Amino acid sequence: MSKTAKKKPYLRALLLGALSAASYFYLFTHVNLVMEYFVKGGWYAALPILTALYFSVVHGSFASTILSIAGLQAAKGTGH
């Protein structure tokens, strides 16, 4: 292992994973309520858009953390 190897972000993965799973669980256990309001159209369009953005940030960060724990990092020499 190189000296620069960082500690693996297990806690971060755990927290983000829990938040992502809880969000999925909440949404799918309230799916009837969600589907009632999300398809109303007009200004209610903000609901599906913001939900998609929220999940992409939370679940996306979780996925990113998992990939780095799995040792999948970008090749050296890339990035700034």
Partner 1 sequence: MKKWIVLILAAIFITLAFAPAAFAESAPPADFKIGSFTAVDAASHTATFVPSETGVPTTVAIDESINPADVKLDDKAMVSFSSTDGAEAATEITPMFLGLTRDKLIALLIVGLIGGLLSGFIGSGGAFVLTPAMMSLGAPGAVAVASNMCHKFPKAMVGTYKRFRYGQVDVKLGLVLAVSSIVGVQVGFQIQKWILDSWGSAGSDLYVSFVFVIILLVVGLFVFKDAMTMSKGDVKAKTPKLALRLQKIKIPPMIHFKKADVVISVWVTLPVGFFTGLLAATIAVGGFVGVPGMVYVIGATAMVASATELLIAFVMGMWGSVQWAMAGLVDVRLVLIILATSLVGVQLGALGTTYVKDYTIKLVMGTVMVIVAVSRGVKIPVYLDHLGIVSLDKSLAGALDALSFWTLIAALLTAGGIISAAMIKGIVRARVEEKEAAAAGSA
* Cβ count near 10 (within 10 Å): 10
Nearer to partner 1, 7 or 71 (CB): 71
Residue 21 C-beta: closest distance to partner 1, Å: 10
- The type of residue at 54 is Y
User: What is the C-alpha separation between 30 and 53, in angstroms, rounded?
Assistant: 19
Q: Which two tokens stand for residue 62?
A: 């979780």
* C-alpha closest to that of 23 among 65, 53, 46: 53
Residue 56 C-beta: closest distance to partner 1, Å: 3
Residue 4 C-beta: closest distance to partner 1, Å: 11
Q: Which residues bind partner 1 (CB under 8 A)?
A: 2, 24, 27-28, 31, 34-36, 38-42, 44-49, 51-53, 55-56, 59-60, 63-64, 66-67, 72-76, 78-80
